Amino acid sequence: MSGSSVVSLAFVQLSVLFPVLLMWLCGAGNGVRFPMKRKLASSLALIALLFTSSGPLVAHHGNSAYDERNPITLKGTVTDFVWANPHTQIYLDVTNEKGTVAHWGIESQSPAVLTRNGWTRHSLNPGDHIAITLIPAKNGAPVGFSGTTLGKVVLSDGRVLTMQQR
């Protein structure tokens, strides 16, 4: 079992056992009536459940795989634009000075964030020529993230599409 699986299993066990333990300690289920204690226990159990189940969600949003200190701007041709949760994806063919084509996969913000920035599902189409500012992968793979405050797409007609959280 991997380390992340063990951590996830621990969160599940804790989120199930902690509320049950609190209810038992406050006399729930044994015929004794403690309305205030029961409300307190229920509230504490709900808070504990929220904290223990939200840990993996926070971990999801790390950008440690990307080189945030060295953003780059790529010019290329859109091959696909996937408008889906939790993050949109931009696929781009970039030709270097030697004529070699690299197929880039670029993760961006959610459709909701992009919509608040003026995007639609038809903002990018296969064949569009764009320039995109992104943070590349540290390992040199042709992947990146464009959704930070510097993330933007410049269309061939000069229009600029930003990706900032709003």
One-character DSSP codes across 42-85: HHHHHHHHHHHHHHHHHHHT--TTB-TTS-EEEEEEEEEEE--S
Phi then psi for residue 79, to 5 deg, are -105, -25
pLDDT in tens, the chain (166 residues): 544 444 444 455 555 666 666 666 665 555 655 566 667 766 776 676 666 665 555 455 567 889 999 999 999 999 999 999 999 999 999 999 999 999 999 999 999 999 999 999 999 999 999 999 999 999 999 999 998 888 999 999 999 999 987 6
For residue 19, the surrounding DSSP H or E stretch is helix 3-25
Does the model's pTM come out above 0.85? no
Q: Which of 86, 95, 162, 87 is nearest to 123 (CA)?
A: 162
Is 29:22 a contact under the CB 8 Å cutoff? no
